Amino acid sequence: MTGRLLFTVDLDRDVNILLDGKNKAGSIDRGHGTEPRFESCEKGMDILLDILDSFGMKATFFVEGHTSEIVDCSRLKQHCIGFHGYDHEDLTMAGPEELRDIMDTGFRAVRGNVKRPTCFRAPFMRTSDAVFDELRRLGIKHDSSLYAEPGVGPYDISGITEHPVAKGKDFRGKTITAYLWPMHEGTREPTDYLSLARASGNADLVLSTHAWHMVESREKGIMTWAEMEHNRKSTEHLIKLLLDEGYVPDVIGD
């Protein structure tokens, strides 16, 4: 018997980077400065939604508050919605008042532009006890901001259910996580993630990606049509592999 496949998407600004002197993210400069961009995010979101529709799957989207104000998120309402900060802040750098403001602003933006979020993922996967305190205050009962060995989780953190992203070794003994960015960057194949899946046993497998990474490479910039198509097919192939392994699609926070 195999566990649940929890496909998760971080819906945030394109190729996010922290800016000097600011606790909010911009986008990698592609010749027009580091102001946040959202075009790749929106295009990648549509590709992922089409893939999910083709499998009849629901997923969990962790939506950045600012992104929800820019990108048309109307297609997301059938899916599970979490939030992901407001300006992709490093929450561990925020003092108590700033942290509360970020969490409130991000929560309200997603609630107003998509629907009430039921779960959370910290930007940059950087979290703290204070962040968990804020989640409890907001009535959020599910989080996915931590890494753990395959087969671990979900587990309780003082009333919040943590759904960790798997981090283990591939069949060559190299570190691999269930974030798909290496596949999107062309350094891993769909079959590489089967080692994580098989090591997870009957536990949930939280698979994670960024919407923008479907169409834009951190290293090389905007992908060609052929590269985007290859990326789409790789993502479809991986989902099929996992379904064939016996994984059952589900969502985190509903």
What's the rounded Cα separation, in Å, for the pair 136 and 95?
18
pTM of the model: 0.96
Query: Which residues fall within 8 angstroms of residue 47, CB to CB, at 6 or more apart?
Result: 214, 215, 228, 232
As a whole number, mean pLDDT of residues 196-219 equals: 94
What pLDDT is recorded for position 130? Answer: 97
At 174, list the tokens: 């190299």
Phi-psi region of 12 (alpha: psi -120 to 50; beta: other; left: phi over 0): beta
Residue 178: is its pLDDT beyond 80?
Answer: yes
What pLDDT is recorded for position 171? Answer: 82
- pLDDT tens per residue across span 216-252: 999 899 999 999 999 999 999 999 999 999 999 999 9
Residue 172: is its pLDDT beyond 90?
Answer: no
Residue with tokens 């949930």: 204
Residue 207 · residue 197 · CB < 8 Å: no
Residue 98, amino acid = E
**H or E stretch including 208?**
strand 205-210
Residue 119 · residue 80 · CB < 8 Å: yes
Rg (CA), the chain: 17
Domains of the chain listed by start with CATH number: 4-250 (3.20.20.370)
Pairing of strands 25-27, 221-222: unpaired
Residue 128, amino acid = S
As a whole number, mean pLDDT of residues 122-135 equals: 97
What's the rounded Cα separation, in Å, for the pair 143 and 30?
33
